[in-house]
Amino acid sequence: MSLRLIFMGTPDFSVPTLQALSAAGHEIAAVYSQPPRPAGRRGLELTKSPVHQAAEALGIEVRTPKSLKGEDEQKAFADLHADAAIVVAYGLLLPKAILEGTRRGAFNAHASLLPRWRGAAPIQRAIMAGDRETGMMVMKMDEGLDTGPVAMTEKCAIGPDMTAGELHDAMKEMGAGLMVRAMAALEAGALSLTAQGEDGATYAKKILKDETRVDWAQTAETVHNHIRGLAPFPGAWCEMPFGDKDERVKLLRSTLQKDMSGEAGTVLDDALAIACDSGAVRLTQLQRAGGKPMEARDFLRGAKLERGTRLS
């Protein structure tokens, strides 16, 4: 036996779950993904999403509506006569008619320990807040924002120097396995649901450009968490002097240097230790505009940042 599923997802984070459900023998009636987006230097080429490409490789029909609010789209969804919808970072609002458009409802794989970090950027926000643990959860969706009852949970430790990119890659594989187990339980009639509480609920708002700049007047721990929480994308940044001008540089990795101190934003040694309000961080991977990520020792070959230099 297997379930007849509709899969809804867009970025590469969603791909392992689609592939795992297909490999587990479930019938994927159709895949829904965001429409192809302009790409290339001139934006003239349309690029299919990672999920779109993965679905085509599996020979599955792909649908890319701009909205699911219309009656025609909702009828087309219901006419698939699916047992359940699986939603992993799809990116479109699901109206009630879609949530109730399958026999057993819609199930979402969410990258946090709900109710902490409901919303758009749970991986980044967990690291930026200094959380030491997070996890994947499968929940049955309702009309609220990540408020539905939880079916399964798997926890994941956040290492002290782990970046958002590293956590993202670990959790996308974890989520795939968790969803396969959840669907096996659903098929067997053994999937139990537990209502979320509201204690400790937080909102993981979308990362905005105006919050990516590093503020050296924060504590070293806050700066370190900021850097790794935004790496590799969109990337925390600061301005550094190169000759007679300042350049914007992405800061992709750092470590804490609590035994060092100085005026906030000041270079403290010859290996990119930078003073914060309290303590310091050592920058270990950086990227100049238009360049590739570089280890600090390589970066310093083209950048003379002497002790006492101020970063902004």
pLDDT level of residue 40 (50, 70, 90 thresholds): low
Radius of gyration from C-alpha coordinates of the chain? 22
Helix (H, G, I), strand (E, B) or coil at 283: strand
Record the pTM. 0.93
Instruction: Work out whether the CA dihedral 158, 161, 164, 169 comes out positive or negative.
Output: negative
Phi, then psi, of 179 in degrees rounded to 5: -70, -35
Q: Is 112 annotated as a binding residue?
A: yes
The DSSP secondary-structure symbol of 266 reads B
Residue ranges, comma separated, of all CATH 3.40.50.170 domains in the chain are 4-203
| Pairing status of strand 106-110 against strand 84-88 | parallel
Q: Which amino acid is at 217?
A: A
Output the CATH code of domain 4-203: 3.40.50.170
Residue ranges, comma separated, of all CATH 3.10.25.10 domains in the chain are 209-299
Q: Is 16 annotated as a binding residue?
A: no
Q: Is 21 annotated as a binding residue?
A: no
Q: Report how far residue 214's alpha carbon sits from residue 71's, in angstroms, rounded to the nearest whole number.
A: 46
Contact in structure between 18 and 28 (CB atoms under 8 Å): yes
Going across the sheet that includes 62-63, the strands are 62-63, 27-32, 4-9, 84-88, 106-110, 133-140, 150-157
Contact in structure between 311 and 265 (CB atoms under 8 Å): yes
What is the tens place of the pLDDT at every residue in 271-306? 999 999 999 999 999 999 889 999 999 999 888 888
User: At 273, which helix (H) or strand (E)?
Assistant: strand 273-275
Q: Report how far residue 132's alpha carbon sits from residue 167's, in angstroms, rounded to the nearest whole number.
A: 12
Which tokens in the block code for residue 11?
């970025």
Q: Report how far residue 109's alpha carbon sits from residue 146's, in angstroms, rounded to the nearest whole number.
A: 10
* Mean pLDDT in residue range 199-218: 95
User: At 238, which helix (H) or strand (E)?
Assistant: strand 236-242
Q: Report how far residue 87's alpha carbon sits from residue 96's, in angstroms, rounded to the nearest whole number.
A: 14
* Residue that is written with structure tokens 């023998």 in the block: 25
Residues of the chain with pLDDT > 70, as a percent, come to 98
Give the pLDDT score at 192: 97
Mean pLDDT, the chain, as a whole number?
A: 95
Helix axes 15-23, 50-57, angle to 10 degrees: 20
The answer regarding whether domain 209-299 maps to CATH 3.10.25.10 reads yes
pLDDT at 1 over 70: no
* Mean pLDDT in residue range 38-66: 90
Which tokens in the block code for residue 86?
């699986």
Which tokens in the block code for residue 37?
């987006």
* Mean pLDDT in residue range 25-52: 89
Give the pLDDT score at 242: 83
pLDDT at 243 over 70: yes
Distances (CA, A) of 54 to 45, 106, 172: 19, 21, 15
Give the pLDDT score at 303: 83
What is the tens place of the pLDDT at every residue in 93-141? 999 999 999 999 999 999 999 999 999 999 999 999 999 999 999 999 9
Which of 287, 217, 283, 220 has its CA nearest to residue 247? 287
Give the pLDDT score at 109: 98
pLDDT level of residue 39 (50, 70, 90 thresholds): confident
* Mean pLDDT in residue range 254-266: 94
pLDDT level of residue 17 (50, 70, 90 thresholds): very high
What is the tens place of the pLDDT at every residue in 144-169? 999 999 999 999 999 999 999 999 99
